[in-house]
Amino acid sequence: MSENEVSSQIIGAAIEVHKPLGPGLLESSYEACLLFELRQRGLNVKSQVALPISYKGFQLEAGYRIDILVEERVIIEIKTVEEFADIHIAQILTYLKLTNLKLGLLINFNSVKLVNGLKRVVNNL
């Protein structure tokens, strides 16, 4: 399955979660529901994946965690913010670089219409 096929499944699942819940909940609530929905679709998902950083040849646990990793190909960062800030884009781009993955999705569930809270971020390896 390509990154685009995976992201299409993720977006559909996120919309399915957002329809009944709407905005206003905690990130952890949306994460649990999105995990459920993605698993229902038969996708391989992992949550809260530890992301060590490499520094001077050493792998150091620095407390970074990927919200959701889908099919070992696409990173999802869940937000519940008024709007995306540059730091949110920088965060997911750093995660993509550290994992050597190409595609990430920022999903802001604090949007009235979820399509306005979606952002694709591409790592130009």
Task: Using the predicted structure, report yes or no on whether residue 13 has a pLDDT greater than 80.
Answer: yes
Task: Using the predicted structure, report yes or no on whether residue 30 has a pLDDT greater than 90.
Answer: yes
CATH class of the domain whose range is 3-122: alpha beta
> What are the structural domain ranges in the chain?
3-122
All residues at 6 or more sequence positions from 113 whose CB lies less than 8 Å from its CB, including other chains = none
When pLDDT is cut at 50, 70 and 90, the band that residue 63 belongs to is confident
What is the pTM (predicted TM-score) of this model?
Answer: 0.93
- Tally of CA atoms within 13 A in the half-sphere of 92 that contains its CB: 26
All residues at 6 or more sequence positions from 60 whose CB lies less than 8 Å from its CB, including other chains = 52, 53, 54
Task: Using the predicted structure, report yes or no on whether residue 36 has a pLDDT greater than 90.
Answer: yes
Task: Using the predicted structure, report yes or no on whether residue 125 has a pLDDT greater than 80.
Answer: no
Average pLDDT score over the chain: 95
Mean pLDDT within 81-110: 96
